[in-house]
Amino acid sequence: MKRFLLSFVLLLAAHTTFAAVPVYVWQGWDDTAHPARLAADFAALKAHGVTGVCFNAGFDTVKTAAAARAAHAAGLEYHAWTPCMLQGGKPAKWYAVNRLGVRADIAPPYVSYYTALDPHNPEVRAWLVEQCAAVARVPGVDFVQLDYIRFPDVILARGLWQKYGLVMHEEYPAADYCYCDDCVADFRAQTGIDIRAVPDPAKVPAWARFRQRVITTLVGEIAAAVRAEGKRVSADVFPGPDSHAAWMVRQQWDAWDLDAVFPMNYNDFYLQPPAWVGTVTREAVRAADRRFPVISGLFVCKDWRNKRHISDPEGWGLSPEELNSAVRRSLRAGAQGICLFSASSITEEHWQALAETIDR
């Protein structure tokens, strides 16, 4: 009887829908993104009950204006999804320097586009603040959503080790930033420690905190500029912050001045089941402490029927059934919304799974 009751409760839990919460979708600008195409895409999202689109047009204000206009015409919020620290073609001294003394534009870690700027550099900060303010000034932009607002991954998520041929049981010197003269001197002035003379800088907690504060301060400067334009600011972050973000990418994001946070709860990257999404969402909600809503970012698998045959973890993600579970666990853990990565991977079965979990 007990067993029957338990099954009944579980069945009920798996089929009840949650009251309407915002649902967002990440989508990037591509060559097909002319106004008519955007209008069709956004109308389709709206028809699926989506609240807003997080759209990556970088810092291009012309593209942003076109996309924001199309989003509002379709009845969607517009979140200007803007990769921050990864930029090409900037002055050499703007780039971060790794523990081996090599600049990120000369030898980016992991992938060629990891050309990371130095967030401690005042010229970099001023440039990023102005770029974000310019995006915020675009009519129709509701939020500026900061992405790559961090240092490069000093340790990759467990699921990515094999792909990049790495075993990462300690911080990886080639991806450990920033050891430029200014960062080293500033840290020495604050603490008396010459970090270049330390055998294992990963064992110096003050050095990690120094870099976390650099990012926190930059977020604060950007947030002030965005709000001065009457707009709101959010950020795409690693899960945690303490379990992952703070040490992997120096995001102590519970200290940030935000209007919303979008943790990328991409369980497959961490070789974890959908249940893990509930665990990290609970941590995030506790850390945010009602100062800003937590929107649970979920990575969707486009080719989910073939998932077990896909070797690249960046092709994995949630099947519709797993999405159902991840959404439920996110909302039970206190998430105030869901964001799906990305528009081009969401199948009809995923939309169906979403409709079964959240009232639209």
Task: Kindly state whether residue 118 participates in binding Zn ion, applying the rule CB under 5 A.
Answer: yes
Of the pair 120, 350, the CB lying nearest Zn ion is at: 120
Of 294, 291, 244, 288, the closest CA to residue 267 belongs to 244
Nearer to Zn ion, 101 or 273 (CB): 101
Q: How far is the CB of 182 from Zn ion (least distance, A)?
A: 5
Measured from the CB atom, is 124 or 233 closer to Zn ion?
Answer: 124
Question: Does 70 engage in binding with Zn ion (CB under 5 A)?
Answer: no
Q: How far is the CB of 189 from Zn ion (least distance, A)?
A: 14
Question: For residues 141-180, which are near Zn ion according to CB under 5 A?
Answer: 178, 180
Read off φ and ψ for residue 262, nearest 5 degrees: -120, 80
Count of beta carbons in the 10 Å neighbourhood of residue 145: 29
Q: Return the residues of window 268-307 that contact Zn ion according to CB under 5 A.
A: none
Residue among 179 and 351 whose Cβ is closer to Zn ion: 179
Mind spelling out the 3-state secondary structure of the chain?
Answer: CHHHHHHHHHHHHHHCCECCCCEEEEEECCCCCCHHHHHHHHHHHHHCCCCEEEEECCCCHHHHHHHHHHHHHCCCEEEEEEECCECCCCCHHHECEECCCCECCCCCCCCCCCCEECCCCHHHHHHHHHHHHHHHHCCCCCEEEEECCCCCCCCCCHHHCCCCCCCCCCCCHHHCECCCHHHHHHHHHHHCCCHHHCCCHHHCHHHHHHHHHHHHHHHHHHHHHHHHCCCEEEEEECCCCCCCHHHHCCCCHHHCCCCEEEEECCHHHHCCCCHHHHHHHHHHHHHHCCCCCEEEEEEECCCHHHHHHCCCHHHCCECHHHHHHHHHHHHHCCCCEEEEECHHHCCHHHHHHHHHHECC
Query: Which of residues 172 and 177 has its CB atom nearest to Zn ion in the complex?
Result: 177
From 73-81, 118-126, 232-240, 281-289, give the range in contact with Zn ion by CB under 5 A. Answer: 118-126
Residue closer to Zn ion by CB (options 72, 90) is 90
Piece of the chain touching Zn ion by CB under 5 A; list 13-21, 112-120, 147-155, 258-266: 112-120
Stretch that binds Zn ion, among 21-29, 110-118, 127-135, 203-211 (CB under 5 A): 110-118
Q: How far is the CB of 123 from Zn ion (least distance, A)?
A: 12
72, amino acid identity: H
Q: Which residues of 184-197 are buried (b: 16+ CB within 10 A; e: fewer)?
A: beebeeeeebebee
The verdict on 120 binding Zn ion (CB under 5 A) reads: yes
Rounded to whole angstroms, what are the CA distances from 65 to 24, 31, 62, 138? 19, 16, 5, 6
Distance of closest approach, residue 122 Cβ to Zn ion, in angstroms: 11
How many residues touch Zn ion (CB under 5 A)? 5
Nearest distance, CB of residue 14 and Zn ion, angstroms: 50
Q: Which stretch binds Zn ion (CB under 5 A): 116-124, 149-157, 253-261, 325-333?
A: 116-124
- Give the nearest distance from C-beta 302 to Zn ion in angstroms: 38
* Minimum CB distance to Zn ion, residue 46 (Å): 44
Nearer to Zn ion, 121 or 265 (CB): 121
Looking at the Cβ atoms of 71 and 178, the one nearer to Zn ion is 178
Q: Smallest distance from the beta carbon of 120 to Zn ion, in angstroms?
A: 5
Work out how close the CB of 8 gets to Zn ion at its nearest, in angstroms, rounded to a whole number: 59
Residue number, 130 or 181, with CB nearest to Zn ion: 181
The stretch near Zn ion (CB under 5 A) out of 111-119, 145-153, 242-250, 255-263 is 111-119
Which residues of this protein are in contact with Zn ion, per CB under 5 A?
Answer: 118, 120, 178, 180, 183
